Chains A and B, each alone.
Chain A
Amino acid sequence: MKKEYTITVYTENQIGLINKIAIIFTRRKINIESLNTSPSEVEGIHRFTIVINETEDVVRKLSRQIEKLLDVLKVDFNTDEEIIWQEMALYKVAADVITEKVKVERLLREQGARAVVIRKDFIIFECTGQREEINNLIKTLEPYGLLEFVRSARIAIIKKSDGFHNKVKDFEYRVPSEALVENEFLDQNEGIFSM
Chain B
Amino acid sequence: MTANPAQNIDTKDKIVKQATGSKALLDALIQEGVKTIFGYPGGAIMPVYDALYDYNDQLEHILVRHEQGAIHAAQGFARVSGKTGVVFATSGPGATNLVTGLADAMIDSTPVVCITGQVFAHLLGTDAFQETDVINITTPVTKWSYQVTNAEEIPHVIAKAFYIASTGRPGPVVIDITKNAQLQIFDYQGYEKCLHIRSYKPKPEVRHAYIEEAAKVINEAKRPFVIYGQGVILGNAEQEFRAFIEKGNFPSAWTILGMGAVPTDHELSVGMLGMHGNYGPNLLTNECDVLIAVGMRFDDRVTGRLDKYAKQAKIIHLDIDPAEIDKNVKSTVAIWGDCKETLPLLTNLIQKNENKDWLQKFKDCSIKETEKVIFPEQNPTSEILTMAEVLKYINEITHGDAIIVTDVGQHQMVACRYAQLNKTRSNITSGGLGTMGFALPAAIGAKYGAPERQVIAIIGDGGFQMTLQELGTIMQANVNVKIIILNNQFLGMVRQWQELFHHNRYSFVNITSPDYVKLASAYNIDAKKVDKRAELKSTLKDILSHDNPFVLEVMVGKENNVFPMVPQGRGVSEIILSKEEL
A interface with B by C-beta (< 8 Å): 11-12, 16, 19-20, 23, 27, 57, 60-61, 64-65, 67-68, 70-73, 171-172, 174, 176-178, 180-184, 186-187, 195
Query: Does the CB pair A70–B199 fall under 8 Å?
Result: yes
Tell me which residues across on chain A come within 8 A of B140, comparing CB atoms.
23, 27
Instruction: State A178–B205 Cα separation when bound (angstroms).
Output: 13
Query: Does the CB pair B199–A65 fall under 8 Å?
Result: no
Contact with A along B131-142 (1 / 0, CB 8 A): 000011001100
Query: Does the CB pair A20–B205 fall under 8 Å?
Result: no
Query: Does the CB pair A61–B323 fall under 8 Å?
Result: yes
Query: Does the CB pair A186–B336 fall under 8 Å?
Result: yes
Which of B76-84, B190-198, B278-286, B292-300 is near enough to bind chain A?
B190-198
| Listed A/B pairs (23) with beta-carbon separation below 8 Å | A11-B199, A12-B198, A12-B199, A16-B135, A23-B140, A57-B326, A60-B326, A61-B327, A64-B323, A68-B322, A68-B323, A70-B143, A73-B199, A171-B198, A172-B198, A176-B195, A176-B196, A177-B196, A178-B196, A180-B201, A183-B204, A183-B205, A186-B207
Known: A64-B322, A64-B323. 4 other contacts (CB 8 A): A61-B326, A70-B164, A180-B201, A180-B203
Contact with A along B318-356 (1 / 0, CB 8 A): 000111011100000000100000000000000000000
Instruction: State A11–B198 Cα separation when bound (angstroms).
Output: 10
Query: Does the CB pair B205–A182 fall under 8 Å?
Result: yes
CB distance from B346 to the nearest CB of A (A): 17
Query: Does the CB pair A19–B143 fall under 8 Å?
Result: no
Query: Does the CB pair B197–A70 fall under 8 Å?
Result: yes
Tell me which residues across on chain B come within 8 A of A174, comparing CB atoms.
196
Query: Does the CB pair A72–B199 fall under 8 Å?
Result: yes
Instruction: State A171–B200 Cα separation when bound (angstroms).
Output: 11
Instruction: State A176–B163 Cα separation when bound (angstroms).
Output: 13
Tell me which residues across on chain A come within 8 A of B321, comparing CB atoms.
68
CB distance from A172 to the nearest CB of B (A): 7
Instruction: State A73–B326 Cα separation when bound (angstroms).
Output: 21
Query: Does the CB pair A181–B323 fall under 8 Å?
Result: no
Query: Does the CB pair B195–A182 fall under 8 Å?
Result: no
Closest 9 CB pairs of A and B: A176-B196, A64-B323, A182-B201, A73-B199, A183-B204, A70-B144, A68-B323, A171-B198, A177-B195
Tell me which residues across on chain A come within 8 A of B164, comparing CB atoms.
70
Question: Given A68-B321, A177-B195, A186-B336, A20 and B200 touching (CB < 8 A)?
Answer: no
CB distance from A188 to the nearest CB of B (A): 12
Query: Does the CB pair B200–A70 fall under 8 Å?
Result: yes
B202 at the interface (CB under 8 A from A): yes
Instruction: State A70–B163 Cα separation when bound (angstroms).
Output: 12
With both beta carbons as reference points, the residue of chain B lying nearest to A195 in the complex is identified as B322
With both beta carbons as reference points, the residue of chain B lying nearest to A182 in the complex is identified as B201
Tell me which residues across on chain A come within 8 A of B326, comparing CB atoms.
57, 60-61
Instruction: State A67–B201 Cα separation when bound (angstroms).
Output: 9
With both beta carbons as reference points, the residue of chain B lying nearest to A70 in the complex is identified as B144
Tell me which residues across on chain A come within 8 A of B196, comparing CB atoms.
174, 176-178, 180
Query: Does the CB pair A182–B203 fall under 8 Å?
Result: yes
CB distance from B192 to the nearest CB of A (A): 10
Instruction: State A184–B206 Cα separation when bound (angstroms).
Output: 10
Tell me which residues across on chain B come within 8 A of A61, comparing CB atoms.
323, 326-327
CB distance from B562 to the nearest CB of A (A): 31
Query: Does the CB pair B322–A184 fall under 8 Å?
Result: no
Query: Does the CB pair B323–A183 fall under 8 Å?
Result: no
Question: Given A16-B139, A19-B139, A174-B196, A67 and B322 touching (CB < 8 A)?
Answer: yes
